[in-house]
Amino acid sequence: MERIPVEPREDWRETAEVHGFQFHTPDDELYWDESVYYRLTLEQIERDLENPTEELEQLCFQVVERALTDETVLMRLGIPEYFWDYITGSWRSQERNLYGRMDFAYSGNGPAKLLEYNADTPTALYESSIFQWVWLEQAIERDLIPRESDQFNSIHEALTQAWSSLEIKDVLHLACCKDTAEDEGTVEYMADCARQGGAETRLIYIEDIGINTKGQFTDLQDTPIETMFKLYPWEWMMSEEFSERIPGSNVRFIEPGWKAILSNKGLLPLLWEMFEGHPNLLPAYFDGDPAATALEGNYVRKPLFSREGANIEFFEGGEQTINIDGDYGAEGHIVQALNPLPHFNGNYPMIGSWLVASQPCGICIREDATLVTGDDARFVPHIILG
Amino acid sequence: MKRSKSVKLVAMGTGLLLIAACDEAKVDTALFESVDQCTGLGFSKQECTTNYKNAQQTHIVAAPKYTSRLDCEADFGAEKCEKAPQRTTSGGSVFMPLMAGYLMGNMMSGSGRGQPLYRSAGEAGTFRTADNKAVGSKIGRTQVAKSAAATPTTKTRTTSRGGFGKNARSSMRRSFGG
């Protein structure tokens, strides 16, 4: 794995806008960065990322099975008791999932280590799937990178296929929050894939969802919502005014309710408890577990629910060395063995490994100038060569 | 090859990689504002009346419903709304747009299942179904997408909105994903 400087396409901003990629430079800070790319070998991709992602997904399913037969697990995950039956039902009736992103620390040598699993509302999808692909094609065409370069990225094909196999017969509603340009972009992209899969789509803001006298959720035209893709975390869905109406609403949610178990950082200690020593896992414990002394004071403390690096604390030799602000953490924490991201010329890349319908289908690399990948990280493309 | 053979988007942007969306199957039908317009175009009096009556009945259950006349007029224009026969659970009034026309039912089978049409404030030239699908702007025979010609859904009144999104309001981010 190498970090290689490269000439940016001089027209990349125009190309981005033409392709509907509007948030490439939010708040005047570069997010899409094609002045550099990472080169991985095919062996690194397949042996160290693709295969482990597939294997870890299967281990995650075993965690779900266990959580649904052992209520103490759901309790430790901080999932409200009201939803236990609902979540169990969504798994037992085999409600299908669409996508997720596992984040790894990986340097090119040794096994990739799972840092966390964004199983419910992963973002950076469009730029991974489309814009990274467009960059590769054009960079080859313009001789900026070697002709025989490839990329681990069949995300778009996998998504359109997955949407068509979800067989949505009625209208598909896609929901995200107001005033979030990036999320709107993601939802519009998803809608595009779903339409190619044959669905009829309508966008709605999470804040605009209504409830009718029959207990169905409705859109702004009062049309009952039957199937909804929601770019809004399950733990929030389960803690708001309409939460208790979810089970009776008969909405088919994408992602399904059981994803609440996997999108929780509590997944990490559960995986370690069940598969201790697995090469792609880091030792992890629920905060307060006496067994955590095994980490000898070198660990990262994370809230059960946290996004984009918020409320992350690093400890080395028992001393706090990094502490990121944020609004998360009231629901509990986990601790995970300290395994810093590798650095390349002062940059810390984190590899996101995409799953669509539980199959690995691509990666994205986000670089930060610090050890914690926050929402100011830059998206950097990759190639496979060798 | 470990990458997609092609990436196609149907609606985002307008770039090189775009392809046109496949056209949905269309059905033959006609739209009118009145029974007279209908018979004027050579349809039988009975066919026109049955379709119109059916549209009026469907109008009651399928028209979009509002608990405030102002909200309704914001969507459909000043004095373009009427009181619906329905009541809210607490006995309050319910409003719906005036029926602006009707779409004939399946012409091939000769069914009388006409459905109501509306004109929205923002785009008054266009007729829309009760499910908010545009079906055209010209009176008379036309073709509309099969899904638009389907029987509109019954609108059960929305009793409250805004029950999701509180957590998002409490933080300022450009994304709520991770």
A322 and A227 within one domain? no
Residue A373 CA to residue A371 CA, distance in Å, equals 6
**Per-residue pLDDT tens over the stretch A248-307:** 999 999 999 999 999 999 999 999 999 999 999 999 999 999 999 999 999 999 999 877
DSSP string spanning B65-125? -BSSHHHHHHHH-TT-EEEEEEE-TTS-EEEEEPP-EEE---TTTT----EEEEEETTEEE
Q: Is residue A28 part of a domain?
A: no
Residues A297 and A203 in one domain: no
* The pLDDT of residue A85: 96
Structure confidence at residue B12 (pLDDT) = 63
Compare A6 and A220 and report the one with higher pLDDT.
A6
B178: chain A residues, CB-CB within 8 Å: 118, 121-123, 306-308
Please tell me the least confidently modeled range out of A50-54, A187-191, B109-113. Answer: B109-113
Q: What is the pLDDT of residue B18?
A: 32
Nearest-by-Cβ selection for A181 from B4, B65, B174:
B174
Q: Which residue of B has its CA nearest to A240?
A: B164
Looking at residue B16, its pLDDT comes to 34
pLDDT at B174 over 70: no
Contact B168 A207 (CB under 8 A): yes
pLDDT of the residue at B20: 32
- Interface subset of A 279-318, CB within 8 angstroms of B: 306-308
Measured CA to CA, the distance from residue B178 to residue A245 in angstroms comes to 26
**Number of folded domains that form chain A:** 2
Q: What is the mean pLDDT of residues B82-109?
A: 83
Say yes or no: A125 and A197 in one domain. Answer: yes
B62 membership: H or E segment, kind and range: helix B45-62
Chain A residue with the nearest C-alpha to that of B1 = A150
Please check whether residue A27 lies inside any domain of the structure. no
Q: Confirm whether A310 is domain-assigned.
A: yes
Residue B68 contacts A where some CB pair is shorter than 8 Å: no
CB under 8 Å to A343, separation ≥6 — which residues? none
Handedness of CA A170, A204, A201, B26 (dihedral sign): positive
Distance from the Cα of B168 to chain A's closest Cα (Å) equals: 7
Q: Does A375 touch chain B (CB under 8 A)?
A: yes
Say if residue A358 is in the same domain as residue A243. yes
Give B123-162 pLDDT, tens digit per residue: 888 999 998 888 888 999 988 888 788 888 777 777 888 9
The answer to whether the Cβ–Cβ distance between B3 and A150 falls below 8 Å is yes
Residues 6+ apart with CB under 8 A from A110: none
* Same domain, residue pair A105 and A209: yes
State how far residue B1 is from chain A, nearest Cα, in angstroms. Answer: 7
- What digits encode the pLDDT tens for the residues A114-150? 999 999 999 899 999 999 999 999 999 999 999 999 9
In chain A, residues with a C-beta closer than 8 Å to the C-beta of B148 are none
A244 with A321, same domain? Answer: no
Task: Determine the pLDDT at residue B110.
Answer: 54
pLDDT of the residue at B173: 57
Instruction: Report CB contact under 8 Å: B178, A123.
Output: yes
Q: What are the tokens at A340?
A: 């810093």
* Cβ neighbours of B169 in A, within 8 Å: 207
Of A124, A191, A240, the CB nearest to B164: A240
Query: Range of A302's domain?
Result: 283-337
How far is A249 from chain B, CA to nearest CA, in Å? 13
Q: Which residues contact A21 (CB under 8 A, 6 or more apart)?
A: A32, A126, A127, A130, A131, A185, B13
Q: What is the mean pLDDT of residues B44-54?
A: 92
How many other C-beta atoms are found inside a 10 Å radius of the C-beta of residue A386?
13
A190 alpha-carbon distance from chain centroid? 14
What are the backbone dihedrals phi and psi of residue A74, each rounded to the nearest 5 degrees, phi first? Answer: -60, -35
Tens digit of pLDDT for each residue in A36-45? 999 999 999 9
Q: Is residue A270 part of a domain?
A: no
Q: CA distances (Å), A41 to each of A48, A50, A108, A152, in order?
A: 10, 12, 9, 10
Q: For the segment A308-352, what is each residue's pLDDT rounded down to a tens digit?
A: 778 899 999 999 999 988 877 778 999 999 999 999 999 999 999
Q: What is the mean pLDDT of chain B?
A: 82
pLDDT surpasses 80 at B24: no
Q: How far apart are CA A107 and CA A1, in angstroms?
A: 7
pLDDT band at B109 (very low <50, low <70, confident <90, very high): low
Question: Which residue ranges make up each domain of chain B?
Answer: 24-171
Q: What ipTM did this prediction achieve?
A: 0.88
